[in-house]
Structure 1
Amino acid sequence: MISLVTLYDEAGLGPRLRDWLAGQGLDSRCQAAEIHAFPDGEIRVRVPEAVSETVVVVCTLDHPSEKTLALTFVCDVLRGLGAKRLWLVTPYLAYMRQDIAFHPGEGVSAASYARLLSRLVDAMVTVDPHLHRIPHLEDVYTVPSTALHATDVIGDWLNGRLTGKALLIGPDRESEQWVTAVAARCGLPFRVLDKERLGDRQVVIQVPDLAAEGYETVVLVDDMVSTGHTLMQVARQLRAQGIRDVRAVCVHALFGEDTTDEMRDAGIGELASCNTVAHVTNRIDVTPMIGRWIEDRLRGR
């Protein structure tokens, strides 16, 4: 028997993992950590039930400034309750984008955050962290850390959903690894665009005339979407070319409801994301891949 303890599990991943593990013949008990917020902003955490020696803590780390403190307190409580092994399941891992100091005096958040989390847990798994200048998680994390990839499940989800002559597009060079893998999985051609960023909310992208090449459906593929401005700029150009079926799929949806509406207004007809972060666009389930990671560790594989 292992324990699953969830924090901020709006996507319901904890119960999904419990059910998936049961299907593999592994017993687990899932409970939610209680978090009480005081008027002055302090919090109190509580784990209501006893736990086993091995505890899987499920906490996706969007809005990390809020969640990381609660995670720290909960890990301390679990150690006090007798947990000897803490494994962190964090489908979205924050603070990976700032992996270098661009100006004197800037912090390298990726390394700082890695040191913090490495002191809390004994092993960690995440899905498609934004590895750019850091090749591997264990280059900065000092505990066994696994980066799973959602490209296969995205490719499988796209299979059979596209009509006409279809193309996948990576909106910038950083998306190349994802669109390449998704395209290989579902057997579709792809292009990668070049993006010039003029600020946090201003980018310039030139899209070739794909309608002239006979494409009828275009799917924009990226690892994470926060402001959505890059995708919206590409979508507007595609619609102006006469391409009517423009869609977007990402691993991590970090944008709000207003941005969802703006993206649809820009011409993106279907938006889909993985359930790494709870979002109205969640269509693609990462539970089995995370479940297999837990199963492999439990069985010593």
Structure 2
Amino acid sequence: MTAPLLFNLDSDPDLATRLRNALDAEAGALEQRHFPDGESYMRVHSDPKQRDCLILCNLYRPDERVLRLLFLSHTLRELGARQVGLITPYLPYMRQDKRFHPGECVSSRPFAQLLSAAIDWLVTCDPHLHRYDSLDQVYTLRSQVVHAAPMIAQWIRDNLNQPLLIGPDSESEQWVAEVARLADAPCQVLTKERRGDYDVSVSLPNVDRWRNHTPVLVDDIISSGRTMLETISHLQSAGLPRPTIIAVHGLFAGDAYRALSAVSDVVTSESIPHPSNGISLSAALADAARHLLDGPE
């Protein structure tokens, strides 16, 4: 059987290489540039006819990348690809899952419709499923979700002594508890009140019995970092050791990373390329993609 083609659309080249090797895929040749008016030019130099095509496109800045992703998937299908799959370690527009105020766009739904029409299947890592039970509630394509909990737990076991896992809010409870179970570590989950993007308060954790443990703050997404900073302030006041922060997706808006790294050790998965990356996802992403490649066309 002909090897699949893997196209790297402006994403981590090291991750692309490891995925390509794990999947025995061939690198797809792609030419991209911009016209003087800013419009995108794209040309596929590898023949995709009757071949499985994979696109690695990390969508952590979706508004900059989605149009080129649509152009590429459309072109591959038009040129005869058997199937077109997307590997995006970070899936955006999942947090806008409810209309909180009149007139708001529930953007997770139109975004899901857009991708579902453009590709045959999707591999991602720990999408922010809060009010949705699964991707199938909004996506109409085949999908595989990679869970980072086993890799995070392994990193904790390998690198930290006497960890106390702390989830910053109720949304994190189920999967922070899973990381704690896999790492064989105690955990606490706090309560959070958000009054704005940068105005967050969290409950004071019960730490008296854990003073000799290393606090490990675990969350799926770090954006503004205000929840983590508020929690760290409480931990410092309680006299606990310098904490470690672990996130699957490190967005780090504004000065979030600088502020967090000044008061904690910060580790993220490679879902979004960043200096804090320390947890590999490539093997799990490749396994998920292989499963979908072997499935129905």
TM class by shorter chain equals: over 0.9
Q: Deviations over 1:166-209 (max 9, x none)?
A: 20000011111221111011100100000011111110112235
Q: What secondary structure does 1:159 align onto?
A: helix
Residue 24 (structure 1) aligns with = none
Q: What is the CA distance between 1:37 and its match in structure 2? A: 2.7
SS of residue matched to 1:73: helix
Deviation per residue, 1:112-164 (Å, 9 max, x gap): 1000000100111111000011111011111112222110111011113112x
* Counterparts in 2 of 1:211 and 1:162: CA distance versus 1, 3 Å: farther
**Corresponding residue of 1:247:** 244
TM-score, normalization: structure 2?
0.93
AA of the residue aligned to 2:117: R
Match of 1:177 among 169, 174, 179: 174
- Which stretch has the larger CA shift, 284-293 or 39-48? 39-48
The percentage of aligned residue pairs carrying the same residue is 39
Which residue of structure 1 aligns with residue 219 of structure 2? 222
* TM superposition shift of 1:255: 0.9
The Cα offsets for residues 27-56 of structure 1, whole Å up to 9 and x where unpaired, read as 310236333134433211222322352101
What is the match of residue 125 of structure 2?
127
Equivalent residue in structure 2 for 1:10, among 9, 12, 26: 12
Question: In structure 1, what is the equivalent of residue 190 of structure 2?
Answer: 193
d(CA) in 2 for partners of 1:16, 1:131: 27
RMSD: 1.8
2:271 pairs with 272, 276, 280, which one?
Answer: 276
Say if 1:35 and 1:70, in contact at 8 Å, map to a contact too. no
In structure 1, the partner of 2:67 is 69
Corresponding residue of 2:234: 237
Whether the 8 Å contact between 2:30 and 2:46 is mirrored in structure 1 is no
Read off the aligned partner of 2:130 and give its amino acid letter.
Answer: H
CA contact (8 A) 1:218 1:245 kept: yes
Q: Which moved more, 1:203-212 or 1:93-102?
A: 203-212
Gaps of 5+ in 1: 22-26
Structure 1 position 299, deviation (Å)? 3.7
**Inter-CA distance 205–257: structure 2 relative to 1 (3 Å threshold):** closer
Which secondary structure does the structure 1 equivalent of 2:261 belong to?
helix
Q: Do the aligned residues in 2 keep the contact of 1:61 with 1:94 (CA within 8 Å)? A: yes
SS of aligned partner of 2:221: strand
Residue deviations 1:52-73 (CA, integer Å, cap 9, x gap): 5210111111111111111011
Does residue 45 (structure 1) correspond to residue 42 (structure 2)? The answer is yes
1:32 & 1:257 partners in 2: Cα distance?
A: 35
CA contact (8 A) 1:7 1:32 kept: no
Deviations 1:207-266 (A, max 9, x none): 23525643431000000111111111111221222212300001001115832221122x
How many residue pairs align between the two structures? 293
Instruction: Identify if the C-alpha distance between structure 1 residues 33 and 178 changes in structure 2 by more than 3 Å, giving closer, same or farther.
Output: farther
The answer as to whether partners of 1:154 and 1:182 remain within 8 angstroms in 2 is: yes
Gap regions ≥5 residues in structure 2: none
